[in-house]
Structure 1
Amino acid sequence: MIHLFDASIFVFRGWFALPDSLRTARGEPANGFRGFATALADTLDVVDGHPLILCFDESLTTSFRNEIEPTYKANRELPPPELEAQFQWCRALGETLGLPCLSSDRFEADDLMASVARLARVEGQAVTLISRDKDLAQLLRPGDLYWEGPGKTARSYEEMRSKLGFPPERMADYLALVGDPVDNISGVRGIGGKSAERLFAHYEDLEALFADLDGIPELGLRGSARIQRLLAEGREQAFRARELTRLQDQAPLPFDTIPGTPTSVDMAGLLQLDADIGLGARNLAKLKRLHGGSLA
């Protein structure tokens, strides 16, 4: 089982959830770093020696999606400089622990996770997606797990299908209809979540849906005539939106095979990070146990 860690999610969680009184030895904010360190230490306690790969977002404004739609994520504020620095510290922590740390100025963390997942499948391995981003559900296949992180229960493909109301791999098509305000993506006007769930419980993808608009009344949806009309009017918008919601699984990776589990930790580097930034006594104790051993 390959574990893919959506690193940026946990940095932002720490930034917003932890007090800014958490400071480095130089007095700089370190709450994003501390939240990430806690999530990572707790994750390593759980993964039981399986490979763990960290995927970071390098930029919010230069991914290939901005070339398709310049307003993509335009509603998001850019991280302030004090948070940008913390991303660098988080990556340094991962590298100190011997973990692969991926980032790209063209592909987002989700795309990097998709690309590693594709490689894992070539090798016949299942994946665990560690994130709180619903977009990643589209990567799930039978045998995979979706885990929101320490303190949460991992969900199987079948459990996610039940929760969503449609097969997880159709998430990109679902978002193309309903839109994704978080990423500033407009869907098809007037199509809500419940209608989209019912549609993708029946249709395999956008192509199948739009090839059979005349069959929508047979699904027994409330307001089927209205839904049929809205879809016909919004066809172009739906396919354009899917260019943004579909994850790219061909991002360049620095390896041709999935890296194995690191066998040691740069203890000097770990202690220096703790002295300079502050890992927290609990986290340091957990991470120290990795020195000279497996990630279990």
Structure 2
Amino acid sequence: MQLIDAGMIAFAAWHALKGRVEWPLTFQVPRMIRKLVTEAGDTYALFWNAEQQWKRERWPAYRDRPEIWDHAGREDYEAMLAVLSALGAVQYRADGREADEILAAVAHCLAGAEEILIRSDDKDFMQLLSGSTRMEGRVRGTVRFSDVKGILGVTPAFVADFLALAGDPVDGIPRIVPPATARRLIETRGHVRDWIDRDLRIEPRLKAAVEAGREQLKLNLELVDLSAEAVGKPPAPREGWGDLATARGIGQRLSITWLSEDGVADEFAVLRAWGAKTRERLRVLE
């Protein structure tokens, strides 16, 4: 199954078409998803950020950058979501949760039962990789379980610990210790949660840094942890699946010709067919 970090596709559509078409997301994203699903020939699900996220409430600097609806506009974003569901795409979005959490929750439920491909460049997902789960993105290409240590210097089991210690400026996670020191602590002490509240017998300067950053380190780990215990159970998929009348109505309202034409059902049959198989597969999560 393909688990798709859909925000990256929406941003690609917006950057390609902004100023050229009035509704770039609704116009282009469904067609991009259709191409991806057609080429892969596999079940799939799309994952989107919520508008309000608990992680930003806990740490306002966390991924403090505009969301796709801030760029493209809420009307285009909401219309795109409705059209995707109507055309047969399986989508997840839940109040308070970011796409990463929900994608991870689904991945944990399916782990070991089938091959999983996470479509994203987000290194946080490296903690989910295993013999049956891999990543694929535009920046690094395919990343497998065995590739992670060469990229971050730790195995997938310790990715969250490494990010919590070394920080991640892209996501607004403050650094507690330098990356090399983070790896050394992980190699000698193991998971952060196992020693964070202990009196460590380590060199004085490092001990002082860890003690001074202890509360921030706990928060960092809370923000980056995508373990099954951290993310919980996945929500139900978005409603409105397979309602072609909705898609045509939006096409007419927004003057998107291809969306309001009679042939749209045939053109997007592949999206609906694989979407139906996905829905059946995901019933095990209910």
TM, length-normalised to structure 2: 0.74
Whether the 8 Å contact between 1:95 and 1:101 is mirrored in structure 2 is yes
In the alignment, is residue 52 of structure 1 matched against residue 50 of structure 2? no
| Alignment correspondent of 1:258 | none
For 1:292 and 1:14, locate their aligned partners in 2 and report how far apart those are by CA, in whole Å. 21
Instruction: Give the Å deviation of 1:193.
Output: 2.6
| Alignment correspondent of 1:139 | 128
Structure 1 gap ranges (5+): 218-224, 256-263
For 1:277 and 1:43, locate their aligned partners in 2 and report how far apart those are by CA, in whole Å. 21
Instruction: Give the Å deviation of 1:209.
Output: 5.4
Deviations 1:160-201 (A, max 9, x none): 33222211232222221122333333231xx22333244435
The one-letter code of the counterpart of 2:40 is V
Instruction: Give the Å deviation of 1:109.
Output: 0.6
Change (3 A) 1:198 1:279: farther
For 2:101 and 2:175, locate their aligned partners in 1 and report how far apart those are by CA, in whole Å. 21
The one-letter code of the counterpart of 2:81 is R
For 1:86 and 1:96, locate their aligned partners in 2 and report how far apart those are by CA, in whole Å. 15
Instruction: Give the Å deviation of 1:74.
Output: 7.3
| Alignment correspondent of 1:290 | 270
Instruction: Give the Å deviation of 1:278.
Output: 6.6
| Alignment correspondent of 1:13 | 12
Instruction: Give the Å deviation of 1:39.
Output: 4.1
| Alignment correspondent of 1:214 | 201
Match of 1:12, SS state, is helix
The one-letter code of the counterpart of 1:12 is F
| Alignment correspondent of 1:249 | 231
Map residues 264-283 of structure 1 onto 2, 5 A cutoff.
Answer: 276-277=255-256
Identity of aligned residues (%): 22
For 1:243 and 1:152, locate their aligned partners in 2 and report how far apart those are by CA, in whole Å. 26
For 1:3 and 1:107, locate their aligned partners in 2 and report how far apart those are by CA, in whole Å. 20
Structure 2 gap ranges (5+): 278-286
Superposition CA RMSD, Å: 3.6
Deviations 1:108-156 (A, max 9, x none): 11111011112112x723321111211122222222111115x973221
Whether the 8 Å contact between 1:75 and 1:184 is mirrored in structure 2 is yes
Map residues 1-296 of structure 1 onto 2, 5 A cutoff.
Answer: 2-15=1-14, 17-23=15-21, 28-30=22-24, 32-33=25-26, 36-37=29-30, 39-48=32-41, 50-59=42-51, 62-69=52-59, 71-73=60-62, 75-77=64-66, 79-80=69-70, 82-121=72-111, 124-148=113-137, 153-188=141-176, 191-201=177-187, 203-208=189-194, 210=196, 213-214=200-201, 226-247=205-226, 248-254=230-236, 276-277=255-256, 287-288=267-268, 290=270
Change (3 A) 1:195 1:42: farther
Greater helix percent: which structure? Answer: 2
Instruction: Give the Å deviation of 1:106.
Output: 1.4
For 2:35 and 2:189, locate their aligned partners in 1 and report how far apart those are by CA, in whole Å. 39
Change (3 A) 1:164 1:272: farther
For 2:56 and 2:163, locate their aligned partners in 1 and report how far apart those are by CA, in whole Å. 17
For 1:154 and 1:175, locate their aligned partners in 2 and report how far apart those are by CA, in whole Å. 21
Q: How many correspondences in the alignment?
A: 262
The one-letter code of the counterpart of 1:40 is I
For 2:116 and 2:54, locate their aligned partners in 1 and report how far apart those are by CA, in whole Å. 25
Match of 1:13, SS state, is helix
For 2:132 and 2:234, locate their aligned partners in 1 and report how far apart those are by CA, in whole Å. 25
Whether the 8 Å contact between 1:128 and 1:147 is mirrored in structure 2 is yes
Match of 2:163, SS state, is helix
Whether the 8 Å contact between 2:88 and 2:273 is mirrored in structure 1 is no
Whether the 8 Å contact between 2:124 and 2:159 is mirrored in structure 1 is yes
Change (3 A) 1:104 1:291: closer
The one-letter code of the counterpart of 1:115 is A
TM, length-normalised to structure 1: 0.72
Deviations 1:244-294 (A, max 9, x none): 111342144227xxxxxxxx97777667767734779xxx8x954627855
For 2:143 and 2:48, locate their aligned partners in 1 and report how far apart those are by CA, in whole Å. 23
